[in-house]
Chain A
Amino acid sequence: MSPEALTEVELITVVIDGFEVSVPKGTLVIRAAEKLGIQIPRFCDHPLLSPAGACRQCLVDIEINGRAFPKPQASCTIPVENGMIVKTQLTSPVADKAQKGIMELLLINHPLDCPVCDKGGECPLQNQAMSNGRGESRYEGVKRTFEKPVNISSQVLLDRERCVLCARCTRFSEQIAGDPFITLNERGALQQVGIYEKDPFESYYSGNTVQICPVGALTGASYRFRSRPFDLVSTASACEHCASGCAMRTDVRRGKTLRRLAGEDASVNEEWNCDKGRWAFKYISSKERLAQPQVRGEDGELHDASWPEALAVAAAGLKGKRVGVLVGGRTTVEDAYGYSKFARVSLGTNDIDFRARVYSDEESSFLASVVPTLTTTYSDIDKADKVVLLGFEPEDESPIVFLRIHKQVRKRSLPVVTLSPFTSRGSHKLRAEVISTTPSGEAAAITALSGLTEKSVILIGERLGESVGALSSALALSKATGAKLAWIPRRAGERGALEAGAIGNLLPGGRPISDAAARVDLATAWGVDSLPSGAGRTTNEILAAAQSGELDAVVIAGVDPLDISATALNSLLNTFVLSFELSNSAVTAIADVVLPVAAVAEKSGSFLDWQGQPRAFEAAIEGALTRSDVRILSMLADEVGAPIHLPSVTAAAREFANLGKWDGSVTEFVPVAAVAPVEVSGNQAILTSWRQLLDLGTLQAGEANLAGTARASVARISAARANELGVTTGDLVSVSTERGTITVPAEVSDINDSCVWLARNSESSQAIATLGSVSGEVVTVVKA
């Protein structure tokens, strides 16, 4: 909040337990008390949910200007007023008895299973029963029992008899996630949380309910019975899964990550995260995890090798050679900086790209010229008069951005406009105006948008780059209206890699490769004579050059070739491949040298979220034997004979920070004209797709409970097409290119008649691998 805004807030002064406190108008009594350090016990109260007043645990005595309420009031529902005097359990015997009475009532039906309950040791009910309860219960009756536990999804279990019916979970699901799949059912003493039996609690945000449950009623399937809170070491961390930038907490016991929780950051994720961020961490302890460097022997097989041996072989394969570097989108800023510097200093090349996905030259220009200048933040969404989504499905591609937009939609009916081929579930929840758009029609549709002001926010997803001319149109729209622009890549490392210069047309800090002054500036800082000039090859160009022999070697870090193209791997078969990897993969299978790297939990570092804000983290797993990429690169650079002097993450971070941002001129964005829309007829359709949040992504490996809540793979087709094909929702259809066929159930939707939509990387629906395309391609759709 700006200082000007602060002065506008009216302050109310109240007296709580004899102490005065001034708080903004509208503050609830329970939170005013917190400011004084007075903890009023509570269960249903949650600062980010609308007040319920249901548990009645927070009863206090209140008088206003000498008029006392006749009975204790729930301090979680009453805003402060001038002249208010509050007496909590600390100074009012009535409030104290009321609270003890409520606590006794809460416990009469609560099982005494704390010793086997996951929540034991960190349980608000347990803790507050000790601090604000009676010593002993007077209840002599029979406790209410339910069958337990109930799987309300593959990843969340419900023990109804532990539930205190605070409705935090149901309020979260409805108010925050917009997924009212769990509700309070039945009535009175039989009231219970439940689902409709055929529709499990498959919300992308379901894990938050486990975290905010004040008892052990909701538990995560993967953590249940696994540990005691007091055996865990907690570390503040940052999520590696997407560019939303969530603060996290990682809980580790004896070197193993047992669970992850949403951390608190009011400016980013508030107190929430998505289920992928919470539960997709088994890849760290995968059986496929690499422990030792490996070198391919004369027998053609990989063999474990010592670090000195592997580094020597790797250096021999790179030194004096023509090398390309594929960084991938998952690296930390420090590691990306390491690759960026390694490429320029040790390999003497600008052939480096972090984009392991579909991209275009238009995007390259956009990334170099526009993105480093963008300053849009979450708070701009809070203040926006309109949000426009372009090539961006926030619920799937940046789920916390979705929550922030949803919050404003609920709070003040924030208008949302989206260019999309159909009304997605996310668009529905955002009550978005859906402008039905085909992949080639985006540029024109963007140009036609109206009603934007300088308070509007245009959120561009990385997929917009797949549509020719669309980024150009979006930039023009922003310029013409003053609307704020943001670029939201899907992966956590992309913005950082861009800033670190892990791309062929940009050096670290946004320095244009084409600017001699920028190169001199950086060469001086790095203590080298000169830096390679001329824009480097992009990802596909590197692969093509490798295939054609124009490159001798490729360094690949954490890239799944199928993210790039169906044939990417083939391009690498005849070059020297140095793989930096966590686990055995398609790349390690063909690599000449494999160097195992540390996972995020095992190292420190930072990501830049889509706002460009650093999200730093420390190693959650102490003493891991693995090393961060940058440290290995530094050793390798020494071996190559062109050192980069980045012996640690800290050193990389410090050096990168010291470089600062380029303050000279940047290259002009080169707009690209839109192409004529593709026409289709008969069984033809234009392919559209995106990645669903939960899919076959490598970092989600090994977590079946999470995978169990992934959205099913379907082919979305229009009613007209379904009619022509003679299919209805649920019937199998086949979507084909010359390369292959994906056969999945049809889902009839409001999709544009000319399009078909597929999940990009889901079970039975891997667009690149099978079809060789993700968007804009003409495919055929037939009844299977």
Chain B
Amino acid sequence: MTQLTPVLSAHWDEKDSFTIDAYRRHGGYGAVAKALAMEPDAVIQTVKDAGLRGRGGAGFPTGMKWGFIPQGDNKDHYLVVNADESEPGTCKDTPLMMANPHVLVEGIIIASYAIRANYAFIYIRGEVVHVVRRLQQAISDAYAQGLLGKNIQGSGFDLELVLHVGAGAYICGEETALLDSLEGFRGQPRLRPPFPAIAGLYAKPTVVNNVESIASVPSIINNGSEWFASMGTEKSKGYTLYSLSGHVANPGQFEAPLGITLRELLTLAGGVRSGHQLKFWTPGGSSTPLFTQDHLDVPLDYEGVSAAGSMLGTKALQIFDETTCVVRAVLRWTEFYKHESCGKCTPCREGTWWLVQILRDLEAGKGTAADLDKLLDVVDNIMGRSFCALADGAASPIISSLKHFREEYMQHLALGACPFDPVASTLFATAGAK
């Protein structure tokens, strides 16, 4: 049994864990002092050696990303933290920032120092006002204690940190859309190249990192790259936050080494809710192809999930039991992608609009087997044809559900209706409420 490894969440059970006092009580901001005494390149090297990979979904090596920033170019550099957590099922950065905002601030100071940025931004989604409060307070307290601003702790290093609050747009989690949004434009993805490392925010070299990635940095500086790399698997090092939600007895956050399996996590979570069986699940949010009970032992690291035909994504494990209609689930996700499509490119804008209509008919039992083929062909005309990955995400649940549950689609068509009772899948059905 894989042991849990609470690092980021180690003190969330303290009532004041979000305060600077609590953070300092446990050695917080010690990594800043340590990092500021190092050469910036040595900080980058440490993060490289640790093997930290992006926790926002793509898994790109964080240290390598930092290393792409041109040095000595006499240009302003920027660090932008992607706190736009919006991928369906994903709910790790939000509790992290609520319970421990200072670990993020500390990571930002270190990362900015490493990439020689004097201006950093946290781009947080706008629908989590209490998390915004906690970050505002954390930043304000960090300024008050000389951890931000001019000449941080006498090091000569200056850093301004601005909290930028979004306003409801999933696409802003895409890093170039995020940058456009932060610059004050509509959050639509940019052409690449140029990549943000060369021309990012305000066309200056920019690193965009996920919250959890940056929050992991202080522990690496404190404990060393070997400590970090000792956890996890060969190419997926370290600990990470896994979020279990849905039809499990006890949903919640689990900080564990990369490579833990769903079977292990389910055991910790008390299993699928009582009296029910696992039907399908997402390994990393709705944009990652669905898994079934056949995948319980897939190591949940970048390589393992990928080899099994999906993606680790945000480690958002949404668990659905046999009461759930997969067609309804997929329809709802498709409606989400339609709602969140930025509208820039044809296949995503028009394609998600069409897919919703097809899936609504299918869920209502209208159509024939030929419509399933049409659905797949339309998906084929969308996936890999769009400007960014949003439409690919929309295609994932459709393709994977048809792969694993084609028969269930056919049942809808044979019956001329959805064979499922939606009440059976609600939490109230077991909780006994209305």
Question: Interface residues, chain A, CB within 8 Å of chain B?
Answer: 51-57, 59, 70-72, 77, 97-98, 101-102, 104-106, 108-109, 138-142, 144, 164-165, 167, 184, 186-191
Q: How far is the CA of A59 from the CA of B347 in the complex (A)?
A: 12
Decide if A188 touches B341 in the complex (CB within 8 Å).
yes
A52-B344, A98-B381, A102-B385 provided; 15 other pairs, C-beta below 8 A? A54-B345, A56-B345, A56-B346, A56-B386, A71-B384, A98-B385, A102-B347, A105-B346, A164-B346, A187-B342, A187-B343, A188-B343, A189-B350, A191-B342, A191-B344
Least CB separation from B357: chain A residue? A141
4 closest pairs, A vs B, by CB? A101-B381, A191-B343, A71-B384, A141-B357
Q: Which chain A positions have C-beta within 8 A of B343? A: 165, 184, 186-191
Q: Which chain A positions have C-beta within 8 A of B351? A: 105
Q: Which chain A positions have C-beta within 8 A of B191? A: 51-53, 77
B404 within 8 A of A: no
Least CB separation from A43: chain B residue? B346
Least CB separation from A186: chain B residue? B343
| Distance (whole angstroms) from the CB of B35 to the closest CB of chain A | 38
Known: A189-B338, A190-B343. A102 touches B381 (CB 8 A): yes
Q: Which chain A positions have C-beta within 8 A of B344? A: 52, 54, 165, 167, 191
B380 within 8 A of A: yes
Decide if B381 touches A97 in the complex (CB within 8 Å).
yes
Q: Which chain A positions have C-beta within 8 A of B353? A: 108-109, 144, 188-189
- Mark out the residues of chain B between 324 and 345 whose CB falls within 8 Å of any chain A CB in the assembled complex: 338-345
The one of B340, B349, B387 in contact with A53, judged by C-beta atoms closer than 8 angstroms, is B387
The one of A54, A138, A187, A190 in contact with B346, judged by C-beta atoms closer than 8 angstroms, is A54
B169 within 8 A of A: yes
Known: A70-B384, A101-B381, A141-B357. A189 touches B341 (CB 8 A): yes
Please, what's the 1-or-0 string for B353-380, where 1 marks a CB less than 8 Å from any CB in chain A? 1100110000000000000001000101
B235 within 8 A of A: no
B130 within 8 A of A: no
B186 within 8 A of A: yes
| Distance (whole angstroms) from the CB of B286 to the closest CB of chain A | 17
Decide if B169 touches A187 in the complex (CB within 8 Å).
yes
Q: How far is the CA of A189 from the CA of B335 in the complex (A)?
A: 11
Decide if A138 touches B374 in the complex (CB within 8 Å).
yes
Decide if B385 touches A101 in the complex (CB within 8 Å).
yes
Least CB separation from A79: chain B residue? B193
B401 within 8 A of A: no
Known: A71-B385, A188-B349. A105 touches B354 (CB 8 A): yes
| Distance (whole angstroms) from the CB of B411 to the closest CB of chain A | 22
B210 within 8 A of A: no
Decide if B338 touches A184 in the complex (CB within 8 Å).
no
Known: A51-B191, A98-B381. A106 touches B346 (CB 8 A): yes
Decide if A57 touches B346 in the complex (CB within 8 Å).
yes
30 contacting pairs across A/B (C-beta < 8 A): A52-B191, A54-B346, A55-B345, A70-B384, A71-B385, A72-B384, A72-B385, A98-B381, A101-B347, A101-B378, A101-B385, A102-B346, A102-B347, A105-B346, A105-B354, A105-B381, A105-B382, A106-B346, A108-B353, A108-B354, A109-B353, A141-B354, A165-B344, A188-B338, A188-B342, A188-B353, A189-B350, A189-B352, A191-B342, A191-B349
Q: How far is the CA of A333 from the CA of B354 in the complex (A)?
A: 59
Decide if B339 touches A56 in the complex (CB within 8 Å).
no
Q: Which chain B positions have C-beta within 8 A of A140? A: 357
Q: Which chain A positions have C-beta within 8 A of B384? A: 70-72
The one of B338, B352, B380 in contact with A101, judged by C-beta atoms closer than 8 angstroms, is B380
Q: How far is the CA of A77 from the CA of B386 in the complex (A)?
A: 13
Decide if A106 touches B350 in the complex (CB within 8 Å).
yes
Least CB separation from B381: chain A residue? A101
Known: A139-B354, A141-B354, A141-B357. A56 touches B347 (CB 8 A): yes
| Distance (whole angstroms) from the CB of A181 to the closest CB of chain B | 16
| Distance (whole angstroms) from the CB of B174 to the closest CB of chain A | 14
Least CB separation from B187: chain A residue? A187
Q: Which chain A positions have C-beta within 8 A of B380? A: 101
The one of B340, B346, B347 in contact with A188, judged by C-beta atoms closer than 8 angstroms, is B340
Known: A53-B191, A105-B354. A189 touches B385 (CB 8 A): no
Least CB separation from A139: chain B residue? B354
Least CB separation from A55: chain B residue? B346
- Mark out the residues of chain B between 209 and 236 whose CB falls within 8 Å of any chain A CB in the assembled complex: none
Q: How far is the CA of A191 from the CA of B186 in the complex (A)?
A: 11
| Distance (whole angstroms) from the CB of B354 to the closest CB of chain A | 6
Q: Which chain A positions have C-beta within 8 A of B347? A: 56, 101-102, 105
Q: How far is the CA of A97 from the CA of B380 in the complex (A)?
A: 10
Among A51, A52, A188, max chain B CB count under 10 A is at A188
Please, what's the 1-or-0 string for B109-125, where 1 marks a CB less than 8 Å from any CB in chain A? 00000000000000000
Q: Which chain B positions have C-beta within 8 A of A188? A: 338-343, 349, 352-353
Q: Which chain B positions have C-beta within 8 A of A71? A: 384-385
| Distance (whole angstroms) from the CB of B365 to the closest CB of chain A | 16
Q: Which chain A positions have C-beta within 8 A of B339? A: 188
Q: Which chain A positions have C-beta within 8 A of B374? A: 138
| Distance (whole angstroms) from the CB of B187 to the closest CB of chain A | 9
| Distance (whole angstroms) from the CB of A420 to the closest CB of chain B | 29
Please, what's the 1-or-0 string for B187-211, where 1 marks a CB less than 8 Å from any CB in chain A? 0000100000000000000000000
| Distance (whole angstroms) from the CB of A179 to the closest CB of chain B | 17
Q: How far is the CA of A778 from the CA of B351 in the complex (A)?
A: 66
Q: Which chain A positions have C-beta within 8 A of B382? A: 101, 105
Q: How far is the CA of A164 from the CA of B349 in the complex (A)?
A: 10
Q: How far is the CA of A104 from the CA of B382 in the complex (A)?
A: 11
Least CB separation from B341: chain A residue? A188
Least CB separation from A98: chain B residue? B385
Least CB separation from A94: chain B residue? B384
| Distance (whole angstroms) from the CB of B333 to the closest CB of chain A | 15
Q: Which chain B positions have C-beta within 8 A of A167? A: 344
Q: How far is the CA of A108 from the CA of B346 in the complex (A)?
A: 11
